[in-house]
Structures are given as C-alpha cells and as structure tokens.
A and B are shown apart, each in its own frame.
Chain A
Amino acid sequence: MLDAFLSAGGLVFQPAVLLAMALALPIGIVVGLLPGLSGITALAFLIPFTFGMDPLVGLAFLLASYAAVSQGGSITAIVLGVPGEVPNAATVIDGYPLAKQGRAGYAIGGALMASALGGLFGCVVLAVLLPVMQPVILSFASPENFFLSLAGVAFIAVLSASAPVRGLIAGALGIFLSLFGYDPVDGVPRFWMGSDYMLDGFRLVPLAMGLFAIPEILALMSSGKSIAQPGRLEPISFGQVVEGGLAVFKHLGIFFRSSAIGTVIGIMPGVGGATAPFVAYAAARQTAKNPETFGQGRIEGVIAPEASSNAKEGGALVPTLALGIPGSSSMAMLLGAFLILGLQPGPEFLKKHMDIAIALAWICALANVASSALMFLLSKALIYITRVPGHVLAPILLALVVIGTYSADNNVNDVWFIFIFGALGVAMERLNYNRPALLLGFVLGETIERNFQISMKAYGPAFVLRPISIAIIVLALAFLLWPNRRRLTLLWRRA
C-alpha cells in the first residue's frame, strides 16, 4: 500500500505531468470565471486536446482544469453574486453579502482556503478508501438514494427558516418544475406541449443563471453603483484575503463536517453532487450560534459549501475509479476521457493500476491547492471587479451569462429561458422567496421520483425497512430537530 503511494508520487512529479497541470490551471480558472460555463463544458472542449497524450498527462490536464474551474466559479459567486456553476449557488448566500459590505477579499480568502483544504480532504479520503470502497458503494441502492434525496428536501426547510412558508413554496415549486419532461416510468413527456425543447423539461443552467444572475444584474443597472457599496470600502489588500484564509482554521469543526458531507455525497453515485454544498451550508447553519445572521455575510456560510463541493469531487472519483460508475456528471465525462486515453476504470483497473489511481488522487489534491494559490495571486484583480461601476459591469456580465449558457448545450432556447427564469428570480428576490431553496428542490425533485418508482418496483413497499434506509431517516430527523433539542427534552421530561 505504501509503495503504491510512493510510486504514485513518482508518477506525478514528472515534468510532463506538471507542465500539463500548469497549462490546465489558467484555462480552468478563465472558464470558471465566465458565468454559465461549467466544469463539464471545460472538460468537453479540453478532451479533444488530450487525444494522443500519455494517459496520466492527459488526465492530469483534465483533472487540473476541472479543479480550477470550480475555484473560478466560487469567485464569481462571491464577487458578482452569480454562481459560476450550480454548486456555487450556496456560496452566493453569504459570499455576495460580504462582497457588498466591501469585504470580498475576506470571503475570497475563506473560499479559497476552504476549497483547497476541502479538496485535499476529499482526495486523501479517496486514496485511503479506494481499495475498500466497493462493498460500501454497492450497499447503497435506490431506496437509500430515495431517502437521501428526501432528506435533502428537509434541508429546504432549514434554508428557509426565516420565512418558512415562502421558503417551502420555493422548494415545492422547484420540485414541481423539475418534473416537467419525460416521466421515469412510462417515458411520457409531461407538459411538453409539442415542443422538442420541453421533452426534457426545464434545464438547470438557464434556471440557475436566471434566478441568480438576472436579479443581481438588474440591481447593478438600477443603482449604477459598484457591487461594493461606497462608504464601506477598505483598501484592497492581500491582508483581507489572508484573514479570510485563516478564518477556516477558526472554524475547523465546520470545515471538517462540511468536507465529510461533501466526500460522502460524492462517493454515492445516486445522489446528485449539486446537493452537497447546500447540505453542508444547512448543517453549518443548524449548528452555529446566531443562525439568523446567516445570509448576511457569515464566513461559515462560505466555508461550508466551498469545502464540501471540492471534497465532493474527490469523493466522486471513488466510484468512478473503483467501479467504473461515474460519481457525478463530470466524472461521466472524465470516464469517457479515460477510455479515449486507453484506461479502463473498474476493479481490474485498481488491481493492475493502483498506482495510477493513487496518482490521480495526488493530482486531484495538488490541483486543488495549486489553483487556490493561483487564485490567491489573482485575488486583488478580482476584488477590483467589485469596485467597477454597475452600469459598466452589468451589461458585460449579462452578455457573458448569455454566451456561456448557450455554449453549454448549443441550444438557443436555453438563452430565452434565462430571461424567463430571470423574471421569476426578480420577483422572488423582491418578495423574499428563497431562491436557493427552489434550486435545491429542482435538483432533488427528479431524483426523488425516479428512486421512489424504482424502489417500489424492485422491492415493493417493504423498501422502507432496509437497515441503511432506516439509519438515514433517523439521522435526518435528528439533524432537523437538533436546534430544538432543549425544547424537546423538556417536553420528554414532562411527559
């Protein structure tokens, strides 16, 4: 085991591999900074360049760019209030208010450090667990995925604790919207109304961009002022960023819990990876003092989603490498790249190429740290964006969102839906309906139905009695009721 580790290290620290990573990082960061373009898009146009590369070099190139993209995406979430990718939507909740208070550097520092360390955490766990993960992955089937997604819905309630009815409306609406399109049992496209586009229902990227980007752009246009409100400006310096980075160490409990959540969710192939940051955010909020100040610029609200979303990618590599089953949609693409490069992930792969598998874990870790470092160097320039006047920044941002979203699926209708969901997003923002809750419901709704239908067909109603399922239900209930534990114990004692 140790020699696999060492020989993996030897594989990684070669000039070709390191050069590939060095090239990939800036590309990934640029892609991440463009709203609408996601890690998957980056992988899509980088994969052709890896044809004919040595397998490890090609994979290093792809993994590094992928890690860098999520860093870039976190930055736009904080600095612009626009999630670079869907998982970054949770970072917007507290990151953007910090930027508006003129403390973008602080938020960026926290995000970068949390991402770097969270990614490291995920990759270390990956390396350690790879040899033994198979039976664990195999014991999570559709019933467990159903209860996990259902538990995810419970987090909607937590996200919206300050305005419960409106938050639940948002979450339920998200679930409702996710069910448009093909139904999992009969393949009947619901509410498609004769349009090819609606056969698959609404798409996630236009929804996320519309909900989050359009209201912020509109606000910038209305005020004409920069994102950082004048009068609250601190001089731009690295000091703020460093302070933010150190904040992670002041909140180690939250960091480790969020990383663990991300890794676990990443490992399980059935649960959508986009839920990890939301779950981590909700968990951080549940266990913190003064939870009602979340949403106004708590650094924990940045650390938690950032740590978990990077840890999740390390976790997602586990089933990908151990079973050849992708842990996330980006892993599905990466699997394609593996095949192109002549490698075949799965149990045989681990037996024959454990050193390559661990080398990938190394690369994953290094890429996280290196891209954070690179972003740190660029942070001053990025903070400056929050000082650009709104009437210059807003139209540029809007154009980028539109172009980026089109690039995802080459579909013009995606662009129109940005504006349709934009109208919804503006209304929701004005009237205090929780937008992350809608997004979470949208991500989970389809999964819940799918897994429910399969579970009923495969096991009958008895599927609820499976041991792991029961454990999940118990844990979810405990999590929900935790803040009220004193009240509940009093009730218990009185009874």
Chain B
Amino acid sequence: MSRAEVIFPSLLFAVVASLLAAGFFVFHHSWTVIAFPFGAGLVVCALCLVDIAMSLSGRRAAPSATDMPLETLSPSSLIWAFALALFVYALGFVFGPAAYLLAYLRATGSSWRLSVGVAAASLLVTWVLFIKLLRILLPFEPLWWPW
C-alpha cells in the first residue's frame, strides 16, 4: 500500500508538470491564458511533493478505528469493470450492454434464466425506451463501423 502512496502523487506531479511545460514551450500560450492553470497546477505539484515527503518519512497518521475498511480488489473485477467500454466499442450501445450483462452474469455464476432475462431487459430499455420512444439515438452500430 505504501508504494502506491508514493506512486500516485508522483504520477500526478509528472502529468501536471508536463502539461504546464507543454503549455509554455509547445503551445506557446500567452501569460493571460496560462496564468490560472499555472497557479492551480503549481499548487498541485507543490502539495504532491509534500505528500510524497510525508509518506516517505512515515509521518502519516494511522487510519482511525472508525474508518470502514475498504474491500480488497480482485484483478478480475478490475478487468470486468472497465470491460464494458470494449463491449460498447465492439457492439454498439444496444447489443454491447446486453452482451456484457449476459457475459458477466454467467461468468459470476448467475443462472441462464437471470442472465438472459437481464440481457433482454437491457435490449428493451436501450432499443425500445431510449431509441424508439425517447428518441435518444444511442449509437446502434459498433463504434468502429466506418459507414
């Protein structure tokens, strides 16, 4: 855990600092344009350094007893949580969520009845409710479809 406590602020520092540098040296923004982002970014970077210093010197207060402990994350759930993006990209907004729901529910042990039922409900909501009734045109085609 303590490694992540140093990595995250370092990453943040790196991203913000490089954006600011790009603003000055690549995009050549004038001072009026870059002033506020510069100020905010400077605060972020400075505080990140303080944060890293505090973590390294071990001067961090232990979490209080009343804090609820966080669940440890399983790698598979991490993948599943972000996988919907892939399903939507590959299959569109109507079939993507339906396929995702079917796949996930089956993979985590739900019955065929429940999985197919939920997937069918998803089709109903996206196709009938959103596209046909509310006329919110969720992209039906896969997003890589060029035509």
Contact = CB atoms under 8 A, between A and B. Distances in A.
A and B touch in their complex, CB below 8 angstroms: yes
A412 B143 contact: yes
Interface in B108-132: 108-110, 114, 118, 122, 125-126, 130
A183 B40 CA distance: 14
Contacts of A452: 36
B23 A191 contact: yes
Given A176-B16, A399-B84, A190 B37 contact: yes
A296 B118 contact: no
B33 A430 contact: no
B40 to A, nearest CB: 4
B108 A97 contact: no
B64 interface: yes
Interface in B85-141: 85, 88, 93, 97, 100-101, 104-105, 108-110, 114, 118, 122, 125-126, 130, 134-139
Contacts of B78: 218
Contact of A165 (B32, B54, B73): B54
A416 interface: yes
Interface string B16-45: 100100110001011011101100110110
Contact of B71 (A180, A223, A406, A415): A223
B84 A398 contact: yes
A328 B101 CA distance: 37
Interface string A162-200: 100110110011011001100101101011000000000
A219 B33 CA distance: 40
A349 interface: no
A54 interface: no
Contact of B77 (A221, A402, A412): A221
B4 to A, nearest CB: 6
Contact of B105 (A45, A217, A218, A395): A395
Interface SS majority for chain A: helix
B66 interface: yes
Given A292-B64, A399-B122, A430-B4, A176 B37 contact: yes
A185 B31 CA distance: 11
Contacts of A395: 80, 84, 100-101, 104-105
A183 B23 CA distance: 13
A427 B8 contact: yes
A219 B70 contact: yes
A100 B8 CA distance: 28
A160 to B, nearest CB: 11
Interface string A387-412: 00001101110110011001100101
A412 B47 contact: no
B98 to A, nearest CB: 9
B15 to A, nearest CB: 10
Contact of B66 (A191, A293, A416): A293
